Amino acid sequence: MKNLRGKVILFIVFLTIVAGMMSAAWAQVEKGDSPWSGKVTAGYIFVSGTTDSQNGNLSLEMVRKSDIDKVTIKAQVRHGKSEDVETANAQEGSLKLDRFLAGEKYIYGLLGLLHDKVNHIDIRYWLGIGAGYLFLKDERKSLEVEAGLEVSREANYDQLQDVETFVRLAGLYKQRISEVADFSQQLHLFPNLTESDAYRIKSVSALSTKVTEKVFIRLSVTITYDNEPPLDTEQMETRAETSLLYSF
């Protein structure tokens, strides 16, 4: 239990640091002299009557890009309830630094933390390093791939798991469909080097339609798969969300 409390404290400290960085970046954005850009995505569904349910999500992404590097900060909160049964309760934060090399190559380092009560992940944190390459980029489409190593540890049911090492393979494709619509596809594959038969997959497909210059309607489908999930949880989870996105 002490170990778990320590991880929870670490999680809170990390989110506090991320929130502080985002607050400082937002202040610069408001002044109009900031290298930061970003987007806020929010969605909420409320149903009352024969069944009572509510689902909400809120995420914030901040990006600072220069000629030599790029910093990306992400934070997300999800909550859902149906007939007084909790269906979602998760908070996630990540920090990623890309360092540009010659041509379209770059190296990266990342840090992430996750709490997911419904899927019995009390705390999961990970550190990763690797390299990436921008295969394709023009006015209408781009394709980016990354490969690296990631060290992860988590606590479930007050039990602290052993440190695990994963290969991290990631791809991001973006396509401009029309003047008002964009499609993106993210795919992450995590083969487990500690347990050779274990792996995780995460796929995020999203379609954004422009409403105004800075406001978009976003439809996304997120699929996560863990062939060795925590006790009492399913291997696959599919989540479809409609959200309002504000870009700045």
Would you list the DSSP string of 152-180? EEEEETTEEPPPEEEEEEEEEEEEE-SSS
The three-state secondary structure class of 229 is coil
Given this model, what pLDDT does residue 58 score? 92
Distances, alpha carbon 231 to alpha carbons 92, 154, 226, in Å: 21, 13, 12
Given this model, what pLDDT does residue 1 score? 47
The three-state secondary structure class of 103 is coil
User: Which residue's structure tokens are 């992940």?
Assistant: 121
Contact 164, 153 (CB under 8 A): yes
Structural domain count of the chain: 1
Q: Which domain holds residue 181?
A: 2-247
Given this model, what pLDDT does residue 233 score? 82
Q: What letter represents residue 158's amino acid?
A: D
CA count, 13 A, side-chain hemisphere, 130: 19
Q: Could you tell me the pTM of the whole model?
A: 0.81
Distances, alpha carbon 156 to alpha carbons 110, 114, 161, in Å: 23, 12, 8
Tens digits of residue pLDDT in 172-191: 999 999 999 999 999 999 99
> Which residue positions in the chain have pLDDT lower than 70?
1-33, 50-51, 157-160
Residues in a beta bridge with 167: 149
Q: What is the CATH number of the domain that holds 52?
A: 2.40.160.40
